[in-house]
Amino acid sequence: MFNAPKCPLPPHFLINKMPPDKRLEDQEILDRAQALGLSVDEPEAYVAAVRRQVADAEGILDFPTSRQEPVRRQWSVPSAQENPLNAWYVRTEITEATSGPLAGKTVAIKDNIRVAGVPLMNGTKILEGYVPQVDATVVTRLLGAGATIAGKSTCNAYCFSGGSHVSDTGPVLHPHDPERSAGGSSSGSAALVASGGVDYALGCDQGGSVRVPASFCGLVGMKATHGLVPYTGILGMAPGIDHVGPITRTVAENALVLSVLANSEQVFPKTSGVQGLRIGLVSEGFGRPTSETVVDDSVRTAVHQLSSQGASVSEVSIPLHLAGAPISAALAQLVIDNIFTNDGQALGGEPVDEAFLRQQAQWRTRPNDLPQSVQVSLVSREILRQRHGTALVGRALEETNQLRAAYDTALEDFDLLVMPTTPMRATRLPGSDAGLAEVMTRSGEPLSNTWPFNNTGHPAMSLPCGFSDGLPIGLMLIGAPHSEALLYQTATTLEENLTTEKS
C-alpha cells in the first residue's frame, strides 16, 4: 500500500493530482513541436503530456526558499606588498583538525575550487561576488588531514590558458623572473609554492594546468589517473578531462598530498630505485616546432642517467601523440557548451548551485567582459557548430580511443613513457600593449605534450630535471592507469640525481 510522503509537498507535486497549467496555451505546445520538426498524431494527448511534464518541473518553484544561514569564514584581499607575484586572489586561515598527515602545513587552493564562505572568481569578473556555500571534496579531505587553507590562488579566466596572463586580476609573475610566465592555468598555485608562500597547493588540469606551471616554476605536479581524485565541487570544463592534483616542491610531499586527496595509500611507492624498469622516450614529444634544444637535451640526459642505475632506456615512436592538439581543439566545443551554452550546468558535477548558475549566466548580457581569448573560442564554436554539427566531436572521441590504445600498446613494452612537460622554459609575459596574436600564442604553446593525457586519462606528472639560464626545465613521466606509485618511485630517483648534480 502506498503511503504519501510526510514532508509538506505541494499538492500538485504528486503526478496523479497535477492540474493543467492554464498559462501554457495548447497552440504554443504544438508550435514548439513543429519548430523541432516533429509530427503530432494525437494533438490532445500530446498537449496533455507536455503540459504534465512542464508542471512537474515547475512544481519545484512552490518549495520554500532555503533559509539556511550562509557559511561565513574570514578572508581578506592582500595588499600589493603582501602579494608581489599577484598569485593570491584572497587570503584565509582555515583549520579544522589539529592532527593528521598534513597538520601544520599550509595549502593554497586554486580559485576554481569551492571553499565555503570564501569568494570564488575563477579568474573572471563575470563571477566576481560569487560565494559558494559548500567545500569541494578535496578541501574537506585537506582540512580533515590537518592542513590549513591559506587562501585562494589566482588562475586564468575560466582556466583558458597555459600561460599566466589571462586573469581579470592581472598576470601572475614567475617567482624567478617577474617578466616571465608562471604557466597556467594554475598560475598562482605554482608561484606560491615556488616562492615559499605556502607548503603545497592544489591545481586543476584540463590540458596541462597542473603540469605546465610545475614545469615553468621547477616544481612537482601530478595529474593522476582520471577519476582517482574526486572533482566534486570544482568548476571544470568537461567531466571527461577534469582533473585536480597537488603542486609541491618535492616528490615525497606530492605523494603525501595525493594520498590525502585520493583517500588512498596505494599511491605511495612500494619499493625504491629503477632497477629493471623499461623507460621509453617518446620521439614525438621532442623536436616540436616550439621546442628548445636545451629542454630536449636536458630531459634525455636525465633519463639516460637512469641506465647506470639499472633501468633500460630506449626510444619509442607513438605517431598519434601528435594528434593530441587537434583532438583537444575539437573537444573544446564541449567545453564551450558546458560553460557558456549551458551557463555552467555541467561543471564538475554536484554541487552546481543556483547562485553560481545565476552569476555565470551574466556572460550573456556582459559578453565584452570576457577575455578576447575566450571570445575567440565562442565564435569558433558557433562556426564549427554550423559547419559540422556534432561530427567533429564524434570524430575526436573516436580518435581519443585510438590515442589511448596507442599509449596502452606502448606501455605493454615499457613501464613508463617520458618526454618534456613543456617544449620550452618559461616564456616572457605579453606586455600590456600585446596584440591578440601574442596573447593566444602564449596561451597555447606550452600545452602540446600535456593535452593528450587529459583526453586519455593516463597519469602524468611533471618534475624538474635541470635549469638553464636560471629557468627550470620540466620532465614528464606517463604511466598506465593507476600506476601513480611507480611514477613516484621513478621520480624519486630522478630527484635524487638532480640534487646530487646541484651539490
Sole residue written with cell 583558458: 160
* Residue 399 grid cell: 580518435
- What is the largest distance, in Å, between two alpha-carbon atoms of the chain? 84
Set 110, 164, 215, 462: catalytic member: 110
| Coil, helix or strand at residue 341 | helix
C-alpha pair distances (Å), 197 with each of 80, 107, 368, 493: 14, 9, 34, 27
Distance in angstroms (rounded) separating the CA atoms of residues 295 and 293 = 5
Q: Rounded to an integer, what is the distance from CA 355 to the centroid of its chain? A: 22
Question: Is 22 in the active site?
Answer: no
Q: Rounded to an integer, what is the distance from CA 18 to the centroid of its chain? A: 43
Set 167, 189, 209, 443: catalytic member: 209
Question: Is 432 in the active site?
Answer: no
Set 153, 185, 187, 377: catalytic member: 185
| Coil, helix or strand at residue 114 | coil
| Coil, helix or strand at residue 159 | helix
Partner residues linked to 91 by β-bridges:
76, 151
Q: Rounded to an integer, what is the distance from CA 199 to the centroid of its chain? A: 20
* Residue 55 grid cell: 508542471
244-248 sheet: strands from edge to edge:
88-95, 148-153, 106-110, 200-204, 244-248, 220-223, 460-468, 471-478, 416-420, 278-282, 312-316
CB 187 within 8 A of CB 172: yes
Looking at residue 3, its amino acid is N
Looking at residue 381, its amino acid is R
Q: How many C-beta atoms surround the C-beta of residue 254 within 10 A?
A: 27
Question: Is 209 in the active site?
Answer: yes
Q: Minimal CA–CA distance to 126: which of 295, 368, 350?
A: 368
CB 280 within 8 A of CB 316: yes
Distance in angstroms (rounded) separating the CA atoms of residues 87 and 109 = 11
C-alpha pair distances (Å), 405 with each of 278, 286, 313, 440, 455: 19, 21, 22, 31, 12
Say what angle helices 137-144 and 251-262 make with each other, to 10 degrees.
110
| Coil, helix or strand at residue 383 | helix
Q: How many C-beta atoms surround the C-beta of residue 43 within 10 A?
A: 12
Q: Which residues form the catalytic set?
A: 110, 185, 209
